[in-house]
């Protein structure tokens, strides 16, 4: 038993020395380096480019710009969503940027950067549709929503709309594309993925209007990690003030 304990202590010390060495190497040139966990399965926000195998998307471009403006380096680490916040807590990376909605519940266990995008609910309609820019324009029409989402709750405020519910939002987009629906309500990134990025729908569907709910994304850091949070906020504030987010929205979300 003592041998096992001794071995465990030696391993722990060795790991600590490795981590310390890595930290010193990252700061050797005087430039802070932030490692960010992201679940790269969420186009167009973060996903794998099939030709280069690199992580790309709105979040990635925005944070690279923020790093340049804020005077730090950034590394993205592809991480499964089911363990992404646990990895943050155990210091596998310094922050999480992965289409994370800022909520009161999450703020109890982690800190967030300033919001960088409203990814609220938005409308997708067939390209031939005219005169529709909000839910109020869809009286008497058939609108698809995913069950249990804020989109469904928003549509329920318009009893004159005929609501079709789906377990999976992709099925709603299929029905929209073949004419069974007049519109679909979805998160802005989801809408962009189907209406703009998906070759099966990009020629037949379009996004209209502006988000009509507020669901702000932010970068999560460990509770009390003010050093990383201040660096990220400094970079984000600079790029948001310069309108970089709008440029990236044109590239990825519109």
Q: Max CA-CA distance within the chain? A: 77
Digit-coded pLDDT (tens) for 143-155 = 999 888 888 889 9
- Are domains 31-118+216-252 and 121-208 of this chain identical in fold? yes
Q: What integer pLDDT is reported at residue 8 of this predicted model? A: 40
Q: Which H, E and C letters describe 211-252, residue by residue?
A: CCCCCEECCEEECCCHHHHHHHHHHHHHHHHCCHHHHHHHHH
3-state secondary structure of 33: strand
Percent of the chain, pLDDT > 90?
67
Digit-coded pLDDT (tens) for 24-74 = 325 547 889 999 999 998 888 999 998 999 999 999 999 999 999 999 999
The angle that helices 226-241 and 244-252 make with each other, rounded to 10 degrees, is: 80
Q: Which of 5-9, 83-87, 121-125 has the lowest mean pLDDT?
A: 5-9
Q: What integer pLDDT is reported at residue 27 of this predicted model? A: 56
- Distance CA(188)–CA(197), nearest Å, equals 13
Q: What integer pLDDT is reported at residue 7 of this predicted model? A: 39
- Distance CA(122)–CA(133), nearest Å, equals 9
User: DSSP letter at 68?
Assistant: H
Backbone dihedral region for residue 89 (phi beyond 0: left; psi -120 to 50: alpha; all else: beta): alpha
Q: What integer pLDDT is reported at residue 30 of this predicted model? A: 83
Strand partners, 101: 217
Burial classification of residue 137, based on how many CB atoms lie within 10 Å of its CB (0-12 exposed, 13-18 middle, 19 or more buried): middle
Contact 100, 168 (CB under 8 A): no
| Whether residue 5 has pLDDT greater than 80 | no
Domain limits, the chain: 31-118+216-252, 121-208
Average pLDDT over residues 83-112: 94
Q: Which CATH class is domain 121-208?
A: alpha beta
Digit-coded pLDDT (tens) for 151-171 = 888 999 999 999 999 988 889
| Whether residue 87 has pLDDT greater than 50 | yes
Rounded to the nearest integer, the mean pLDDT of the chain is 87
Which CATH architecture fits 31-118+216-252? Answer: 3-Layer(aba) Sandwich (3.40)
């Amino acid at each position: 038993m003592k041998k096992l304990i001794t071995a465990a202590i030696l391993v722990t010390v060795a790991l600590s020395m490795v981590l310390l060495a890595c930290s010193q190497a990252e700061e050797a040139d005087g430039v802070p380096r932030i490692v960010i966990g992201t679940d790269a399965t969420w186009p167009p926000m973060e996903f794998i480019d099939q030709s280069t195998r690199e992580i790309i998307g709105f979040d990635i471009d925005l944070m690279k710009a923020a790093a340049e403006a804020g005077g730090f380096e950034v590394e993205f680490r592809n991480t499964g969503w089911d363990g992404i916040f646990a990895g943050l807590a155990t210091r596998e990376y310094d922050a999480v940027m992965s289409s994370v909605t800022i909520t009161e519940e999450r703020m109890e266990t982690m800190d967030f950067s300033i919001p960088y995008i409203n990814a609220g609910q938005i409308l997708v309609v067939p390209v031939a549709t005219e005169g529709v820019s909000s839910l109020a324009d869809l009286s008497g029409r058939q609108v698809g929503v995913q069950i249990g989402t804020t989109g469904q709750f928003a549509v329920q405020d318009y009893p004159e709309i005929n609501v079709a519910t789906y377990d999976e939002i992709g099925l709603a987009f299929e029905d929209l594309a073949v004419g069974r629906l007049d519109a679909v309500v979805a998160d802005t990134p989801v809408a962009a993925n189907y209406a703009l990025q998906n070759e099966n729908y990009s020629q037949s569907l379009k996004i209209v209007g502006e988000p009509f709910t507020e669901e702000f994304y932010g970068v999560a850091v460990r509770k009390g990690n003010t050093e990383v949070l201040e660096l990220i906020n400094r970079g984000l504030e600079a790029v948001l003030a310069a309108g970089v987010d709008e440029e990236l929205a044109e590239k990825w979300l519109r």
